[in-house]
Amino acid sequence: EQPSAPKPVAAPMRSLPWGQLNFLQTTDTHGWHAGHLQEPQYSADWGDYISFAEHMHRKADEIGADLLLIDTGDRIEGNGLYDASSPKGQYDYDIFKEQDIDVICTGNHELYQADAAAREYTKTVPNFKGKYIASNLDYILPETGERIPMAQRYRTFTTKNQGIRVLAFGFLFDFTGNANNTVVQPVEKTIEEKWFQEAIREDVDLFLVIGHVTLHGPEYKAIFKAIRSQKWDTPIQFFGGHSHIRDFAKYDSKAYGVQAGRYMETIGWMSIDGIKGKGKKDDPKEIELRSSMSFQRRYIDNNLFGYRYHTGLNESTFPTEHGQNVSAAIYKARKALKLDNSYGCAPRDLWMSRTPYPGDNSLYTWLEKEVLANVAIKPERKDTPRLVIFNTGSMRFDIFKGPFTRDSTYIVSPFVGTLKYIKDVPFKAASEVLPLLNSGGQIFDSAELQMWQLAPPEKLSIHSDFIGPQMPLQDSFVSSAGQRPLLSSSPDLVPGYTTKDDAGDDGDDTLHTPITFYKIPNCIQSSVSMPANGDPETVDFVFIDFVQPWILTALRFTGQVYNDSSVEEYRPEAFTDLMAGWIKENWKKNCKN
């Protein structure tokens, strides 16, 4: 772990079920490879995960089982370790590649910006040569304009100890927001292609479908159906991503999926027993064996207490040389990037969804009332009344009371988006846009303009408010007790993930009390320089560039026809820099004073 990481919180544990074939999964790590430096429960870093995987590999060899490592994309954008360098990821790619990942694919974040997509092709694909799969993703070579597969379309291999013949695919959901140097082919079209149709007819013991794809979405349903149309009985293991939640899905009695949350909070564990191995052909005995197959999942909290618990090791025996070297490289990178430089002192916790919006502790109320109202200013039009619209998904993490650092800046707001505007929009039409963006409806029914894309991905699975046990939020992270067995008479539970999935509520490796969350809107709006009395005739209609397609559609619905050429620059800097500037100016008090 990093020297400044808080010590992990003790809690009752569930052990990991081992099978013939076992998996560790990461997804949506978004650059959090230093771990969470303000949250003990997730404070292990990428180096610790490397040590953990090495011990688990050794154990697999000892018991004659297999262990495969999976990563399903969105490795970038969301943490200073990736975002604070120029070019981005100057250190992060080299840190990430140290893990011995067996099957890896891309996420949508690797593709939003053309430079990030180019780095995917020139760095990550070669770093994971032979392991990187791009079943529905092409890259456009900058030199020639030629369109080529980003990496191989699928991979077949035989596992080391059990001799299980695996055929692995690597998909991205039907994403349309990519820069123009990549082409994402819809999954539904890809599965009709000749290579895929041939692949699903191959004689293998297991289909492994990894993807930056939600487990319950239409893409995996289509892939499942396609494979089952050829192989009615071959086990299929899916690994998902994108929605930032811990999740598990049952497709049929031999097809399951797991998804390991987000931000290096969770390492997914999956174990399968009863697979026909060693390349043997089906025979009645094998079928009998397979009908008693089992698929079990765990969601591992990413901290050292848990890692030591699962490996049976201690503080001195757990770290491996390789793991320690990677932790040291992360430390050096963070220092070089000055990620601990303080920009100010946050006066209170500001939550995305743990307190109601609007409210004093809502990150979005702070953004609306304090930040946007003060940074959305174009000097030559500073007195012009304006509405400023921001999508809630642009903010990626809570702010904790205390030092707000260069790292916090990218954790909260990693994107390079800028403020744009349309001038002199009739106020009546402009004021109808926010309700439209928040209520959705049929005007946004096209694939490119899904409403959920405006909100944080976690929101996809929050359908109503949930009020957990009330406890002081800061105190909830503090515990000095040692690790406790599961059946302790009065377990001292701390708040954390309490996952309910298709297999029940026993998936988390650590027992927690549930966390409160409230629903949040898709977008928020700040009204600035409005007349003291009455409404203005027209306003400058300002927005973060990500929402432009939705804004133009909504305005058209109100009867105002604008297009891309009506949109002009409002501020030249990235919003992230405007926010950091506001913090430096307004939270400049040193936390120690």
We find the least distance from the C-beta atom of residue 461 to ligand LLZGTKA7, in angstroms, to be 12
Amino acid (1-letter code) at residue 141: L
Q: Which is nearer to ligand LLZGTKA7, 1 or 74 (CB)?
A: 74
We find the least distance from the C-beta atom of residue 352 to ligand LLZGTKA7, in angstroms, to be 12
Q: Which is nearer to ligand LLZGTKA7, 447 or 561 (CB)?
A: 447
H or E element in which residue 154 lies: strand 154-158
Q: What whole-number distance in Å separates Cα of residue 467 and Cα of residue 63?
A: 44
Q: Which is nearer to ligand LLZGTKA7, 255 or 567 (CB)?
A: 567
Locus of tokens 């560790």 = 24
We find the least distance from the C-beta atom of residue 581 to ligand LLZGTKA7, in angstroms, to be 19
We find the least distance from the C-beta atom of residue 391 to ligand LLZGTKA7, in angstroms, to be 5
We find the least distance from the C-beta atom of residue 114 to ligand LLZGTKA7, in angstroms, to be 13
Q: What whole-number distance in Å separates Cα of residue 493 and Cα of residue 489?
A: 12
Q: Three-class SS string for 378-400?
A: CHHHCCCCEEEEEEHHHCCCCEC
Q: Which is nearer to ligand LLZGTKA7, 307 or 546 (CB)?
A: 546
The answer to whether the CB of 171 falls within 8 A of the CB of 213 is yes
Closest CA to 562 of 544, 548, 543: 548
Which residues partner with 167 through β-bridges? 156, 207
We find the least distance from the C-beta atom of residue 399 to ligand LLZGTKA7, in angstroms, to be 17
Angle of helix 548-557 relative to helix 427-439, nearest 10 degrees, comes to 120
The answer to whether the CB of 84 falls within 8 A of the CB of 406 is yes
Residue 24: helix, strand or coil by DSSP?
Answer: strand
Locus of tokens 């039009």 = 381
We find the least distance from the C-beta atom of residue 38 to ligand LLZGTKA7, in angstroms, to be 20
Q: How far is CA 588 from CA 346, 405, 579, 591, in A?
A: 9, 11, 13, 9
Backbone angles phi, psi at 418, to 5 degrees: -120, 165
We find the least distance from the C-beta atom of residue 244 to ligand LLZGTKA7, in angstroms, to be 6
We find the least distance from the C-beta atom of residue 353 to ligand LLZGTKA7, in angstroms, to be 14
In angstroms and rounded to an integer, the radius of gyration of the C-alpha atoms of the chain is 25
We find the least distance from the C-beta atom of residue 77 to ligand LLZGTKA7, in angstroms, to be 7
Show Cβ contacts of residue 222 under 8 Å, excluding neighbours closer than 6 positions: 187, 188, 191
We find the least distance from the C-beta atom of residue 550 to ligand LLZGTKA7, in angstroms, to be 11
Q: Which is nearer to ligand LLZGTKA7, 40 or 393 (CB)?
A: 393
Closest CA to 270 of 298, 247, 246: 298
Which residues partner with 46 through β-bridges? none
CB-count burial class (<10 Å; 0-12, 13-18, 19+) for 561: exposed
Q: Which is nearer to ligand LLZGTKA7, 235 or 417 (CB)?
A: 417
Angle of helix 46-63 relative to helix 304-311, nearest 10 degrees, comes to 10
Q: Which is nearer to ligand LLZGTKA7, 13 or 455 (CB)?
A: 455
Amino acid (1-letter code) at residue 179: A
Q: Which is nearer to ligand LLZGTKA7, 181 or 311 (CB)?
A: 181
We find the least distance from the C-beta atom of residue 340 to ligand LLZGTKA7, in angstroms, to be 25
Q: Which is nearer to ligand LLZGTKA7, 31 or 257 (CB)?
A: 31
Q: How far is CA 143 from CA 96, 140, 147, 494, in A?
A: 28, 9, 11, 54
The answer to whether the CB of 348 falls within 8 A of the CB of 361 is yes
Which residues partner with 183 through β-bridges? 138
Interacting residues toward ligand LLZGTKA7 by CB under 6 A: 28, 74, 108-109, 112, 242, 391, 393-394, 415, 417, 453-455, 457, 546
Q: Which is nearer to ligand LLZGTKA7, 108 or 327 (CB)?
A: 108
Residue with nearest beta carbon to ligand LLZGTKA7: 393
Which residues partner with 172 through β-bridges? 212
Quick one: tokens of 335? Answer: 């220092």
Q: Which is nearer to ligand LLZGTKA7, 140 or 245 (CB)?
A: 245
Q: Which is nearer to ligand LLZGTKA7, 109 or 290 (CB)?
A: 109
Provide the 8-state DSSP code for 82. H
Q: Which is nearer to ligand LLZGTKA7, 303 or 413 (CB)?
A: 413
Q: Three-class SS string for 189-230?
A: HHCCCHHHHHHCCCCCCEEEEEEECCCCCHHHHHHHHHHHHH
We find the least distance from the C-beta atom of residue 338 to ligand LLZGTKA7, in angstroms, to be 24
Quick one: tokens of 579? Answer: 């926010």
